[in-house]
A and B are shown apart, each in its own frame.
Chain A
Amino acid sequence: MTAPAPKLEVEDLLVGGAEFRVVDKVSFTLAPGESFGIAGESGSGKSTLLLSLMGMMRQGLQHIGGSVRLNGLPMMGQTDAALACVRGSKIALIPQNPATALNPSRRIGAQIDEVLLVHSALNQRARAERVLDLLGRVRLAEPAVTAHRFAHELSGGQVQRAAIAMALAGEPEVLLLDEPTTGLDVTTQSALLDLLVDLRLRAKVGMVCVSHDLGVLARLCDRIGVMYAGAMVEEGPLALVLARPGHPYTQALVASIPRLSTGGLPSPIEGSPPALFHLPPGCRFAPRCALVQDACHSQRPALSWVEEGHKIACLRPNMAPKPVAHRPTTACAKGAPLLAVQGLSVSYAKQGLFAHKAPKPVVEDVSFTVVRGEVLGLVGESGSGKSTILAAIAGLAVPTAGQITLMSKDRTADLAARATDRPLSQLRSIQLIFQNPDASLNPRHRVIDLLAQPLMLYGHVPRSDLRAKAADLLSEVRLGAATLDRMPAQLSGGERQRVAIARAFAANPDLLLCDEITTALDVSVQAAVLELIHDLARKHDVAAIFVSHDLAVVRAIADRIAVLRNGRIVEINTAQELCARPVDPYTKSLLRSVLEIPT
Chain B
Amino acid sequence: MRVGRTPFALPQVLRDVLAQGSGRLGMTIVCLHLAVAVAAPMIAPQDPAVQDAGAMLQSPSWAHWFGTDRLGRDVFSRTLLGGREAMLIATLATVIAMVWGSALGILAALIGGRTDALVMRFVDAMMSIPWILMVMLFVAALGSSSAALVPVLGFSYGLSVVYLARAAALDFVARDFVVAAQIRGHARWSIALTELLPNVRDSLAVQGAMQWSWILLAVSSLSFLGMGVAPPTPDWGQMIADARGIMQRAPWALIWPMLALSSLVIGMNLAVDAWARATGVDRNRRVPGA
Contact = CB atoms under 8 A, between A and B. Distances in A.
Contacts of B180: 432, 434, 440
B182 A444 contact: no
Interface in B149-198: 175-177, 179-186, 194-195, 198
A396 interface: yes
Given A434-B180, A453-B194, A443 B4 contact: yes
Contacts of A488: 4
B183 A394 contact: yes
A106 to B, nearest CB: 25
A396 B175 CA distance: 13
Interface residues of A, number: 29
A596 B77 CA distance: 85
Interface string A489-513: 1100000000000000001000000
Contacts of B7: 444-446
A427 B177 contact: no
B186 A457 contact: yes
B3 interface: yes
Nearest to A500: B180
Contacts of A439: 175-177
Contacts, number: 62
A489 to B, nearest CB: 3
Interface in A511-529: none
Contacts of A489: 3-5
A260 B100 CA distance: 57
B233 interface: no
Given A439-B175, A442-B177, A442-B199, A454 B184 contact: yes
A279 interface: no
Contacts of B179: 396, 434
A442 B201 CA distance: 13
Nearest to A277: B1
Interface in B255-274: none
Contacts of A454: 184
Please indicate which of the listed interface residues B4, B7, B177, B181 has the most CB atoms of chain A within 10 Å of its own CB: B177
Interface in A415-448: 419-420, 422, 424, 427-428, 432, 434, 436, 439-446
B187 to A, nearest CB: 10
A489 B180 CA distance: 18
A444 B198 contact: yes
B176 A434 contact: yes
A453 B181 contact: yes
Nearest to A507: B184
A396 B198 contact: no
A445 B205 CA distance: 18
A508 to B, nearest CB: 13
Interface in A446-471: 446, 449, 453-454, 457
B6 interface: yes
A170 interface: no
Chain B interface residue count: which class? 20 to 34
Contacts of A443: 4, 199
Given A436-B176, A440-B176, A440-B177, A427 B185 contact: yes
A420 B187 CA distance: 9
A225 interface: no
Nearest to B198: A444
Contacts of A420: 182
Contacts of A449: 194
Contacts of B4: 443, 487-490
Contacts of A422: 185
Nearest to A430: B183
A488 B3 CA distance: 10
A88 interface: no
Nearest to B6: A487
Contact of B177 (A419, A441, A490, A507): A441
Nearest to A454: B184
B224 to A, nearest CB: 42
B5 A457 contact: no
A487 B5 contact: yes
Given A396-B179, A434-B176, A419 B185 contact: yes
Contacts of B6: 446, 487
Contacts of A427: 183-185
A193 B5 CA distance: 43
B3 A395 contact: no
Given A487-B5, A488-B4, A442 B195 contact: yes
A489 B195 CA distance: 16
Contacts of B3: 489-490
A428 to B, nearest CB: 8
A530 B186 CA distance: 29
B173 to A, nearest CB: 12
Given A434-B176, A490-B3, A396 B199 contact: no
Interface string B194-212: 1100110100000000000
Contacts of A419: 182-183, 185
A454 to B, nearest CB: 6
Contacts of A394: 183
Contacts of A395: 183
B198 A445 contact: yes
A419 B186 CA distance: 11
Contacts of A432: 180, 183
Interface in A368-420: 394-396, 419-420
Contact of B183 (A396, A436, A442, A490): A396
A425 to B, nearest CB: 10
A496 B9 CA distance: 22
Contacts of A444: 7, 198-199, 201
Given A443-B4, A487-B4, A489-B3, A424 B199 contact: no
Contacts of A490: 3-4
A454 B194 CA distance: 13
Nearest to A424: B185
B197 to A, nearest CB: 9
Contacts of B198: 442, 444-445
B199 A453 contact: no
Interface string A92-116: 0000000000000000000000000
Nearest to A60: B1
A452 to B, nearest CB: 10
A443 B177 CA distance: 9
Nearest to B182: A419
A489 B3 CA distance: 6
A387 to B, nearest CB: 12
B6 to A, nearest CB: 6
A488 B181 CA distance: 16
A457 B175 CA distance: 21
B277 to A, nearest CB: 18
A457 B184 contact: yes
- Which one of B4, B175, B185, B195 has the highest number of Cβ atoms from chain A below 10 Å of its Cβ? B185
Nearest to A441: B177
Nearest to A436: B176
Nearest to B2: A489
B203 to A, nearest CB: 13
A75 to B, nearest CB: 28
Interface in A335-383: none
A507 B175 CA distance: 21
A453 B5 contact: no
Nearest to A485: B6
Interface in B3-57: 3-7
Interface string A120-132: 0000000000000
Given A441-B177, A453-B194, A489-B3, 7 more contacts: A396-B179, A427-B183, A428-B185, A439-B176, A440-B176, A445-B198, A507-B184
9 contacts: A394-B183, A419-B182, A419-B185, A434-B179, A443-B199, A444-B199, A444-B201, A453-B181, A488-B4
5 smallest beta-carbon distances between A and B, as pairs: A489-B4, A444-B198, A440-B176, A487-B4, A427-B185
Interface of A: 394-396, 419-420, 422, 424, 427-428, 432, 434, 436, 439-446, 449, 453-454, 457, 487-490, 507
